[in-house]
Amino acid sequence: MDSITGSTQPPLFDRLDEQKPDALLQLIALAEADTRPEKIDVGVGVYRDAAGGTPILRAVKEAERRLWEAQETKAYLGSQGDPRFTALIRPIVFGESLAAEGRIVGLQTPGGCGALRLGADLIAKANPKARIHVGQPTWPNHGPLIECAGVEMVPYPYYDCDARRILFDQMATALNAAEAGDLVLLHGCCHNPTGADLSAGEWREVADIVARRGLIPYVDLAYQGLGNGLEADAAGTRLVVEAAEQALVAQSCDKNFGVYRERVGNLFVKARSSATADKVFANLMQLARTMWSMPPDHGAAICRLVLDTPELRADWNAELKEMCARIRTLRARLAAYDERLAYIDGQNGMFSMLPLTPDQVLALRKEKGIYMAGSGRFNVVGLSDDNVDRFAAAVVETMDG
């Protein structure tokens, strides 16, 4: 028989553009391949304990065991995922009073990425000409997630890496010049990549600008509990959501429950009335149906069980506090090493940026086996008690040239 390969087909996949490999994933592979025992990997963005591992939280492990024993079906859930899970996360994000607000709807998403993408799609669907103001620098995946939904991004200055400070005046000027109805992307806490969060007073000023200028905040809350505790880390989010008639919050449980690969998050949207909120929810359900139909259940079921079971919830809270404290201790040790690293203690979460050139970052990799992103972003908690001083020494030596 002749070959059935169709030679009449015009090329389809040949038309695709080449894609650059993801720089961070490449870095992980390079670090893994390095056989030097003293290598330090501060590239990858996951929590590490003192032994250098990313263990499963005690409460998560126990909830998984109970789930395995009690779960009787894997039949489909709806596009909203597990509504009890979303209802339990709601007051953690918004506090009890704002959570009771009927104009806020929410649904489960595949992680923070799923929430960010779903929110961007909702915005584009509601207003194909929508613009979103995005601070610079920001997490490298914000751009692709927002732009592929068709929402125009407008940069605003956020942080000066060399001066190691937030450019608040420039940020405020940019937001004051934004048009009514424009969206503003804000990191709720533990800014990625800089670790530099707005102060309480700056959050109040942003909330004031948002209210006065008719801007719509879109808060990315991916690290709640890893900066200064669950309540403190949500304070800015609550301020801006309260100040605005309309707002979006993309929330993730992947870091604060340590369930990264399970993909657990929620998107919350505040609308101008509860009737509009219902319409928003119906549109979110429809958009979710076209992307993932329904979010994966397992991770959200674990988080639901932990939050619904007092002893597991208490243990989760305790372990989250331990993780947070470990990050703070490492930050304090880096800051104490040299005054040029002092700013690191005032920052929050897993990441900070070092004012290093790409060449200096490369030299650290080649000469010392220290792996960090080309931007100088490093994962504070990728360090261990044993290597934190060696890391600080190598960085300071490189800064001195």
Q: Which positions are catalytic?
A: 139, 220, 222, 255
220 contacts ligand PMP (rule: CB under 6 A): yes
- Please count the residues of this chain forming the interface with ligand PMP, following the rule CB under 6 A: 12
Tokens representing 50 are: 């003192």
Identify the CA nearest to 366 among candidates 400, 398, 396: 398
Contacts of 365 (CB under 8 A, 6+ apart): 30, 371, 372
The answer to whether the beta carbons of residues 188 and 230 sit under 8 Å apart is no
Two tokens, residue 187: 């990191």
**Least spacing, CB of residue 221 vs ligand PMP, in Å:** 8
Residue 224, interface with ligand PMP (CB under 6 A)? no
Q: How far is the CB of 6 from ligand PMP (least distance, A)?
A: 39
Tokens read off for 145: 């997630």
Options 105-113, 321-329, 331-339, 390-398: segment touching ligand PMP (CB under 6 A): 105-113
CB of 35 to ligand PMP, least distance (A): 28
CA angle 289, 223, 303 (to 5 degrees): 60
| Cβ closest to ligand PMP, residue 117 vs residue 333 | 117
Does residue 353 belong to the site contacting ligand PMP (CB under 6 A)?
A: no
Q: Which amino acid is at 307?
A: L
Q: Write down the residue that tokens 């993909």 correspond to.
A: 263
The reply on whether position 265 binds ligand PMP by CB under 6 A is: yes
In the range 176-215, which residues lie near ligand PMP by CB under 6 A? 192
45 binds ligand PMP (CB under 6 A): yes
Q: Find out whether 334 and 388 touch, Cβ atoms under 8 Å.
A: yes
> Smallest distance from the beta carbon of 109 to ligand PMP, in angstroms?
9
- Please, what is the minimum distance in Å from the beta carbon of residue 139 to ligand PMP? 4
Amino acid letter at 72?
E
347 near ligand PMP (CB under 6 A): no
Residues 122-161 that bind ligand PMP (CB under 6 A): 139
- 111 touching ligand PMP, by CB under 6 A: yes
Name beta bridge partners: 152: 131
Cis peptide before 83 (omega within 30 of 0): no
Pick between residue 80 and residue 109 the one whose CB is nearest to ligand PMP: 109
Closest to 139 in 3D by CA, of 75, 57, 221, 84: 221
Q: Please, which residues bridge with residue 325 across strands?
A: none
Q: How far apart are CA 253 and CA 221, in angstroms?
A: 9
Least Cβ distance, residue 268 to ligand PMP (angstroms): 14
**Residue in 57, 59, 104, 113 binding ligand PMP, rule: CB under 6 A:** 113
* CB closer to ligand PMP, 111 vs 225: 111
Q: Which residues bind ligand PMP (CB under 6 A)?
A: 45, 111-113, 139, 192, 220, 222, 252, 254, 260, 265
